[in-house]
Amino acid sequence: MGRRALLLLLLSFLAPWATIALRPALRALGSLHLPTNPTSLPAVAKNYSVLYFQQKALAAGQLHICIIQLNHYKTPLVDHFGFNTVKTFNQRYLVADKYWKKNGGSILFYTGNEGDIIWFCNNTGFMWDVAEELKAMLVFAEHRYYGESLPFGDNSFKDSRHLNFLTSEQALADFAELIKHLKRTIPGAENQPVIAIGGSYGGMLAAWFRMKYPHMVVGALAASAPIWQFEDLVPCGVFMKIVTTDFRKSGPHCSESIRRSWDAINRLSNTGSGLQWLTGALHLCSPLTSQDIQHLKDWISETWVNLAMVDYPYASNFLQPLPAWPIKVVCQYLKNPNVSDSLLLQNIFQALNVYYNYSGQVKCLNISETATSSLGTLGWSYQACTEVVMPFCTNGVDDMFEPHSWNLKELSDDCFQQWGVRPRPSWITTMYGGKNISSHTNIVFSNGELDPWSGGGVTKDITDTLVAVTISEGAHHLDLRTKNALDPTSVLLARSLEVRHMKNWIRDFYDSAGKQH
């Protein structure tokens, strides 16, 4: 996996729903996103027909059967910004209109991110929960190059020439064309307000969509959207510092145990017998070699990051099946950093096992797997090599990780080797304004204080209509998940505020339409 892989993992949970860049490996930290405890819900089969998909909404102790219309339309151009080609592709989107009202209704439009749109649909229970109250049609739009929305089919990831149209700008243009298509083809939708909603990278897209296409959407809810995790807008170490804080607060000496584990791994891996012992102690599926050690440490680091992102107050299976407050469970095994290397690593295994084997079904741990396959790692790898360039670093003092500086040149060389492209670290701030966004309106930025991505998010009000909502006990876009009896008060208040803002946007839209007539 290497440093670049871990970085990609971090960035990809930007979700989610994961990819970062400590060394180029960390470019993948962070892709968003899943359901709740599989033991708390009866299993419901997903029944497919040509046009309909039957899915459960994920909520512990609560079951929703959702009928979703699957549609493809051959309208989006592969290149919206050039004029020498008219090539189109099939973009997938989902529509649910059980509670939609043609009179006084609304359209909630999910700006799909880096993965299969059905997965995001099933993990955005908030939209299903508020649909009746807002008389809303729900639309979930799949992001180009993810899921089934592949502009060049099986050749979409063939080379940088085929991937050249994988950008946030092209994706936003897809969304705009889709909304035009919906309003043109669905009776009653033409004169209704549309609200963009998204989480993580999807939240960034929701905010950017409102900024770039304010005539298309009356407002946006951007949950856990790190729109400032670029260039030097925030310190490069803020992400891993928040991860460390989560572990430090969840158990005595927990973060210190993790901090000391890196040197323990280095010492134990110095010999062939040490490598063999590590393989057994960590219950790995494949024998370790000396070349695997950085990969191993990156995999462990990514595990701690993922736990911070999905530190939910109830059992869930967003990335893996996990107990409630999983970091507290993990930290029960990491109470004593002052033990021998072998005992410390045995404790580390017990902690890792909470994440990878809470269900008890796993026979060994695979250091090449950390999260759901519903996320599109190839596409995200390319995006993290082009415009989604997020600086990450660690120093081993303010955080519990080995020190790694942000190295743009190393990242650039690695990207060129893989894709034949070099990143443009300033493009996102040029395109979307960085912190100079006060001229925009009607965007709610929600962030959980437990979520490491909050360090790159908008956490204070910018204007009366660019509003920050903080969830003190919230991990990665907790507010977008289905309501749960164990939800903390802070997320209940956050959702209430979000709905209030959306109702105001809808009311203002209809008031304005009435005055025009």
Q: Which residue's structure tokens are 């189109």?
A: 88
253 is catalytic: no
Q: Quick one: 443 exposed, middle or buried, by C-beta within 10 A (0-12, 13-18, 19+)?
A: buried
CA distance to 189, 215, 458, 476, 508, per residue, from 501 (Å): 21, 18, 17, 21, 11
**Active-site hit among 116, 292, 341, 451:** 451
Question: What would the 3-class secondary structure string for 121-148 be?
Answer: HHCCHHHHHHCCCCCEEEEEECCCCECC
- The catalytic residue among 476, 479, 487, 501 is 476
410 vs 370: CA distance, rounded Å: 24
- 116 catalytic residue (yes or no): no
Is residue 36 within 8 Å of residue 484, measured between CB atoms? yes
Of 106, 156, 200, 446, catalytic: 200
Phi first, then psi, for residue 219 (nearest 5°) are -175, 175
Closest CA to 261 of 393, 352, 364: 352
Question: What's the CA dihedral at 129, 130, 135, 136 to 10 degrees?
Answer: -80
SS3 465: coil
Catalytic residue at 129? no
Indicate the DSSP class of residue 452.
Answer: G
CA–CA gap between residue 311 and residue 308 (Å, rounded): 5
Catalytic residues: 200, 451, 476
